Amino acid sequence: MCLSALLSGCTAEFVERRARRAGPVPEVVLDAGGGHLRYSLRGFRLAVASRRKDAIEKMEAFCGGPDRYTIVDEVAREDVSARYVATDLADEDALTKNSRHFQSQTVQHLYFECKK
């Protein structure tokens, strides 16, 4: 369990979801579905493990059970995000003056496919 006061961002997030696509007859499945999740690798091992567990639970829920998905690819990379808040947008020079506007962090990406 994550302590929100100490460990912010204790969840994984979906980047992409592909819904199941049935074929012309019930026996045919064109696409079993799948997706792409990511979670931060920042923080203590316990926090990272909690985020990974959350990602796995989201895959299980999306695909319909613990044995209903396959992780196709898993990669860690640097992701950059930009904060947009009202004070940044009001000040024309805030984007160039504020070095904290852009944040970079190492993020684990999981690509998965649901089983037919």
How is the chain split into domains, by residue range? 13-78+107-114
pLDDT at 21: 79
Tell me the torsion sign for CA atoms 42, 109, 48, 6: positive
* pLDDT tens profile 3-18: 443 444 679 999 888 8
Q: How far is it, in rounded angstroms, from Cα 38 to Cα 75?
A: 10
Beta strand 34-40 with 69-82 is unpaired
- The overall average pLDDT reported for the chain is 80
pTM beyond 0.85: the answer is no
8 Å CB contact between 37 and 18: no
CA angle 64, 39, 15 (to 5 degrees): 65
CA proximity to 71, closest of 106, 41, 109: 109
Q: What pLDDT band is residue 53 in, cutting at 50, 70 and 90?
A: very high
